Chains A and B, each alone.
Chain A
Amino acid sequence: MPREEYAARKISDPSRRGSVLYDVIVLGSGPAGLTAAIYAARARLKTLVITGPMVGGQIALTYQVDNYPGFPEGVTGPDLVGLMREHAERFEAEFVENEATSVDFSSHPLKVYVGDEEYRGSAVIVAMGSVNRKLGLESEDRLMGRGVFVCATCDAVLYEGKRVVVVGGGDSAVQEALDLANFASEVFIVHRSRELSACLCLKNRAAENEKIRFIWNTVVEEILGMSRVEGTRLRDLDTGEERTVQCDGVLIAIGWDPNTRIFKGQLDLDEGGYVLSQTGTDTSVEGVFVGGDVTDSKYRQVVTACGSACKAALDAERYIAELRSKSREEKFFTY
């Protein structure tokens, strides 16, 4: 069937979705959520995806993905998740483009709420990924989009010839610094330790880049400026000494936190907020499965997110098959 037809096919009346019992509700629409949707829908389970605030998740904000198998020339993040969504729609997964605001996993069927709207599912797959960790400064919120930013892909072109401070030392911080160095006049990587935690290939590229300088063992105390970023106040962790670096932009890349706020009190979470799982896909609630970065503090790749969400969908499929066979048995023995 041609692509346009998948998109044009009307799957079910959105106004009636609340009264439908879905086999599987997938929370999240990044690579993990979309893979879970592909597997569940292809297994002919009635599948609903509640996308979250950004369809496609974090990867929709990533310019180039160079390590997803099957794309030898690389692929842009939006294209990759666009194809994954089409793939899920081909098997008739339904989409609600909104954010789940709460859940009730205390009884079956499981319930997910988008504001006042209730969606019911026999199984739920949690694939809500992670959100950018913040420094936690008032100035950070106030100046967001006014010099404070989290996505070099989106905004690097606006920093041509400018000085930018990148906060962080992991893969994403160094990658963002390298992207920025194509435009900015100077890039300072401010890192709280003495060594980058980024992979060797990125470390080497950053070390060789003339525009990138490092400020080690240092944290950001304050971002300066009223309506635009004018600088940052930094503190050396050894000496306690403070100093001000003038800059036009501050890119924050200090890592990610699992997006699990709505599951507090509903699912067992670890200290970092990641969903706890014994088998890798199960959770503390029967019928609720988990996949992707929301349960992975270690690998966090597109392909590992897809892989773990695939396992979650296969386990959800098995769970629903067992539910159905149980209900058939019950019917049989009541005759």
Chain B
Amino acid sequence: MEKVKEIQADAWDSEVLESDKPVGVDFWHPMCGWCNKLNPIYEQLPETFGDRIKFVKVNILQSPENNKLAMNLGVLGTPTIKFFCDGRDVDEIVGFRPLNRLVNEIEEILKKKDECLEKSTPLEK
């Protein structure tokens, strides 16, 4: 089972936009209490969802590029999990959730997978 990968801004295109399956990205940083509380829950998601979706995370304090990436995507609070499908920004979950609620909300987002292209707007680079 693939684990949650910590990625950097320079791998954004290859890891997220060019992924052949939907991707969840947790924007977090270690000084954020709710992020630290979410982390162990987020780590359980690959096991729950298997191959249906890939999960990665970005530490927004690790580099100015990571921070800029989050800001360009409109992230205004941590933790925020953004979801991408065929390279497009389709949905987001803002703030902490316990595991069962998080799983339910992601299931709802995955249901939209097929229609995600029609519903989404291209990203500005």
A binds B: yes
List the interface of chain A (C-beta within 8 A of B).
54-56, 60-61, 63, 76, 78, 144-147, 149, 151, 153-155, 157-160, 228-229, 248-249
CA distance A276 to B29 in the complex (A): 39
Interface bits B44-82 vs A (CB < 8 Å: 1, else 0): 000000000000000011000001001100111110100
Are A157 and B61 within 8 A (Cβ)? yes
B31, B71, B94: the one contacting A63 at CB < 8 Å is B31
A157 lies within 8 A of B67 (CB): yes
B interface bracket (residues with beta carbon within 8 Å of A): 20 to 34
What does the 1/0 interface line of B1-45 toward A look like (CB < 8 Å)?
A: 000000000000000000000000000010111111100000000
18 contacts between A and B (CB under 8 A): A54-B33, A54-B34, A56-B33, A63-B31, A145-B76, A145-B94, A145-B95, A146-B76, A146-B94, A154-B31, A154-B34, A157-B60, A158-B60, A158-B67, A158-B70, A159-B76, A228-B74, A248-B76
A76 cross-chain contacts in B, Cβ below 8 A = 31
Contact status A146-B77, CB under 8 Å? yes
Determine the distance from Cα of A154 to Cα of B60 in the docked complex, in whole angstroms. Answer: 11
Known: A144-B94, A145-B95, A146-B94. A158 touches B76 (CB 8 A): yes
Inter-chain contact count A-B, CB under 8 Å? 65
> How far is A83 from B60 in the complex, measured between Cα atoms in Å?
26
Residue of B nearest to A161 (CB): B71
Q: Which residues of A contact B37 (CB under 8 A)?
A: 54-55
Complexed CA–CA distance, A78 and B34 (Å): 11
Bound CA span A249–B34, Å: 19
Contact pick for B76, options A55, A151, A153, A229, CB 8 Å: A229
Residues in A with CB closer than 8 Å to B60 are 157-158
Residues on A with C-beta less than 8 A from B36 are: 78
Q: How far is the CA of A76 from the CA of B36 in the complex (A)?
A: 14
Q: How far is the CA of A233 from the CA of B60 in the complex (A)?
A: 31
Q: Knowing A54-B34, A56-B33, A78-B33 touch, does A155 contact B74 (C-beta < 8 A)?
A: no
CA distance A159 to B80 in the complex (A): 15
Max count, chain A CB within 10 A of own CB: residue among B61, B77, B95: B77
